[in-house]
Chain A
């Protein structure tokens, strides 16, 4: 049962604070304007019979307001909830902004004193709230800052939650936080700890926008809480909130921030009906809450621009720290480790698909060897060839030999098109028909692109590998015949067949880089023309809406960061090939999308966690981790470490220094959980790193991944990112790695 209580108006004597000319009590005409944004939107406090409320009105923005800004939800700990809402009893202008207070009595000798400071700076409206409990009773409470727009409807807005929802929920899964079921129910509630950045935005049809953000997120939780052991929990240690936008049937659109968090949805992706997870602080005399929430009020020409601006604003606010690391040392450790994993069985050489980071046990599929995506066998080979070029000693030449053998094995094992698979059994050297090694467009083209770059580099050094070129060209000749009239390619084909196994064209960007390279290398324009059609398709269907889909091969056709990263690569390759500015603009759009999956705040591990049980260790910053897919929001890995060179290229071509910051962050902060000499994190030796980590709540709990396995992409991506930056701009590489390397020499 919910009970709505009107708190009494606080009867306080209002003082005019002397000594500052801007200070005044509420004006006699019962309106007090906080200020106006650059677009003319005004923020005004208005007195009604019950007290003071807040209105946001004006040019280009539908009116939103809150007549009862002080909102408290109380739980008795046994499922009984009460809501207490109140207008402000007092508002007054101060040097800092407008201070507003409310006093809510809930009975039983308990009351809540709410003190809010409202400020408007550079189009950002912020509320800093302090809630103090007077009196003690069993149970817990949370508070919220909520606005509603009576003239707004759910479909008037496009919603942004980084790593969760980019306006269109179609490809976000059914039961995910930003998925189709929650969206259709007009109920989006998102805990901060599933978000790469604590941001939730609404872009309205008239071009106006409101982006809510938490400028100082903390995120503390406990092990039990992060495992969602109970639907309702009360604990003073919870320090995370939730953003929400909802429109119950017959009600106005509401949006806001609740602290501690309460959310409603399908947890762990399951359940026939949505359930609620509510977190509260204890109702104890003297207990005090502090939090701040910002509302960035803007006007942009489209959702993409809104997303980019909102993200960057939060980036500038949070200033994600760079944890400088000795990159040359890390590269050496990773390369030595990678070379040690190269396995030769019966004359076939490759890097096993999966190995344990903890011991020498072997999984049932460890003899798989795969191209692209998570296998990246040829990318691994290229890293070893590069080390061979850097190191003329027997160490480096051994690595070169391994790399050449790996490439030779793959070419011999998959000699025909259509491909029977994109991976093989190391024991037999034969194709392996398994979903992970299926003829995915991505898996084949991603590693063949790397092989083309290796071919080009080797050729410059006088080393001819015509069989490499012939093998890739054979595939490209087949591939361009599979392109459909709209420019799209299927995501996957049936083995040794032209028949699509997954007809969706969402991942068509994958074909672009290798086809561009093939035209450049052979002088035959047909590959480039095919690539441009695929890139146009990607842009027209998805990218122009700020949305990229279908990157991760082992997920359904889902919104994911890898789609953004791969599209960035595709558009950049066309820009470098043609110098046509439109491809750079599109590359920026893809880059903006991809970077919005990067964790730019530090989410601490549960305060009561046993560090030995955690996969992500206490005290290690989560800045640099990235969300993976919208389907599994809250899961994280380091896949974008691969994109260091891509953002460096974006920076050089666009001149936008923000992309340099992204480059620097991805170069350094993605190495946080690599086992290095002196910091093994419980793994079996230097160079190991497990694949993924859970940050958002899940049955495994925060800081624990879905397994403790290493897959080749982990090392391939780290090395690819480092090496591609050095190859693209050696001077920038030296500049960005100098501090970490300097630390080593001191």
Chain B
């Protein structure tokens, strides 16, 4: 909006119109881009607040002193039932690394994690999954979807892996699950046999989300779920997260878009230089977080000087 003089808006392969940038407000642009889905963002906010009021203080996951050398400095973290905890920080601040530790994708070398009061050894993803933790990686293509498999196969992959190879999920159950989630998440094309590699980024992300929701996790870790996808899918995913939290799921939400983090989260953990530097409550604003990150910067620079 800073650069262009004129803008052409396209939606679902159709021309919506061409507008002079000066005459178009940001709000109008968004509403043109997502069509009648506008207002969903407002609903996300409403849902998130509602859930915040009801947020229980039953801890789902409690980590003490969890860390890994060269990756994340030991830190404490508690995530409660029905709560969305945002992880904010700059790129390279350790937010992704922390998420990977919580899922056992990298093995933590210090600290202890309890899920529902029981000690869990996060040796590998299987252990985390068995404990009811799910993780959508930020590398959607590289570490997320299996491109050459169909939507159906991708959806049931985590569930099948948990079941073991000898107990295949029956065709009937598969079809029910697939139908349900394609509908719920509005995955397009709605053809279960379509190869995931041919889907748009947003739809791939939805398939990935559905893969984990099928396993009915207690804790869902989302690393950059809205990066590089269209604005319609972004709103859909945020709305889904808010709804899931309302139903009682604990969510860890990582995004570089601080507005998103603030809008959705009940608590925000701020990361900086591979360590946790602060924990803010629901009323935190983007400015608060920015100031925290910048403030420490100034201080460390002062020390350095």
A and B, one complex?
no
